[in-house]
Amino acid sequence: MSSSFDPAPSPKIVIAPDSFKSTASADEAAEWLAEGVSSVIRDAQIILAPMADGGEGTSALFEGERVCLPTTTADGRLTEAEYTFHAATETAYIDVAAASGLPAVEDNPAPLTGDTYGTGVLIADAETRGAKRIVLGLGGTATVDGGTGILVALGVNPLDEAGYQLKPGGGSLERLAGFDTAKVNVPAGALEWVLLTDTTAPATGHDGAAHVFGPQKGATREDIELLDRGLARLCEVAEIDPQTPGLGAAGGVGIGLMWLSTMLHGNDEHVHIVPGARVVADSNGLTEQVDGAALVITGEGRFDGQTGTGKVASVVGELASDAGAVFAVAAGRFDEQPAEGTIAVTLPEVDDVREQLVQAGAEIAVAYLNTSTVQG
């Protein structure tokens, strides 16, 4: 006979967290949350489905060879970055955050001069290995350059009215007059582009890349206005609608890529802006795995106003709701409260990340058992 605290024999529990920035990968977070859950619900059928939404760690969730090569950070310093190349499907999975991410410049952010050149190096390398399609994760960047750094790496130089090349970064884009395409890397630029976004933000305006994401990249109020004007000018020269949903992801990287692809193909049909978390959920089987689940758990570093615009927690929550499962979130902090009925657990203040997640998993399990008992 089941105990009063056991809502169902061997409940199916799906654990699908995002990475916790530089402290825990999505795989580690899933394992450690599961350890906590199983310490309380010992007979649970636990399924791990590490998630990402286009930010740090997305490319590592896809199958293929991990490629590591020298490149540059957002502020131009030498570094190494990895991406995944799946030869059978001729697809490269690249995170913009791998080379152009915020952690590498966190101590000295460069919102006006940081650029995505280092990501362009990875893209060019993938094309030489036989990639015909680039799945580009657009999250966690330190840049607001509209993808112009990638363009420079692919042989396209942005110019001012006098014909001089602009300095790197979004701070100079308001002086953009055109592009020098004499040395463009046609094979790389003509690839199929799948842009995984973690936001629906447009390129410009108060809901755009500079205003929403600029502050976390170190931009002052004056910087934000300058960057916003720069992205608006880039969209004007590129003849792209700045209000396109998702175009504000990764500091407007999609603007430059859409312009390049349209210039080479004559249309924008080879650039696809899609919700990253949905693509990952379909790829790792989460969409099917939540079917029949009693409890679905996710986690992320911070649950805030941006969470509901396409990040992992919002997508996992929607899948849990559709499946009729109890939904739980573990987060380092909650700047906003999740939807009513969600089990929300703040990570405990202990030094060890693994212990934080194990304890959070156990706390979620206890809350789930209590909720299930109360509900019958």
**CATH code of 114's domain:** 3.90.1510.10
**Residue 139 placed within a domain:** yes
Among 277, 309, 326, give the residue marking a domain's end.
277
Mean pLDDT value of segment 45-54: 94
Number of domains in the chain: 2
Q: Are residues 258 and 310 in the same domain?
A: no
**Residue 3 placed within a domain:** no
Measured CA to CA, the distance from residue 96 to residue 159 in angstroms comes to: 24
C-alpha torsion sign, points 214, 216, 217, 220: positive
Q: Are residues 183 and 146 in the same domain?
A: yes
Which among 279, 134, 252, 275 is positioned nearest to 199, based on CA atoms? Answer: 275
Q: What is the pLDDT of residue 227?
A: 98
Q: Are residues 252 and 289 in the same domain?
A: no
Among 225, 249, 277, give the residue marking a domain's end.
277
Mean pLDDT value of segment 58-81: 96
Q: Are residues 130 and 242 in the same domain?
A: yes
**Residue 5 placed within a domain:** no
Among 221, 256, 277, give the residue marking a domain's end.
277
Q: Are residues 112 and 237 in the same domain?
A: yes
Q: What is the pLDDT of residue 306?
A: 61
Q: Are residues 75 and 214 in the same domain?
A: yes
Q: Are residues 251 and 342 in the same domain?
A: no
Whether the full predicted model's pTM is greater than 0.85, yes or no, is yes
**Residue 66 placed within a domain:** yes
CATH of the domain at 21: 3.40.50.10350
Q: Are residues 106 and 26 in the same domain?
A: no
Q: What is the pLDDT of residue 375?
A: 52
The pLDDT-based confidence of 337 (bands split at 50, 70, 90) is: confident
The pLDDT-based confidence of 9 (bands split at 50, 70, 90) is: low
Q: What tokens appear for 219 in the block?
A: 């931009």
Q: Are residues 233 and 153 in the same domain?
A: yes
Q: What is the pLDDT of residue 1?
A: 41
**Residue 322 placed within a domain:** yes
Q: Are residues 269 and 304 in the same domain?
A: no
Residue 88, domain extent: 59-277
The pLDDT-based confidence of 309 (bands split at 50, 70, 90) is: low
Rounded to the nearest integer, the mean pLDDT of the chain is 93
Q: Are residues 182 and 297 in the same domain?
A: no
Indicate if the pLDDT at residue 346 is higher than 70.
yes
Element (H, E) at 202: none
Q: What is the pLDDT of residue 57?
A: 87
**Residue 7 placed within a domain:** no
Rounded percentage of the chain residues whose pLDDT exceeds 90: 84
Residue 112 burial by Cβ neighbours in a 10 Å radius (0-12, 13-18, 19+): buried
The pLDDT-based confidence of 210 (bands split at 50, 70, 90) is: very high
Ramachandran category for residue 74: left, alpha or beta (phi over 0 → left; psi -120 to 50 → alpha):
alpha
Measured CA to CA, the distance from residue 304 to residue 213 in angstroms comes to: 13
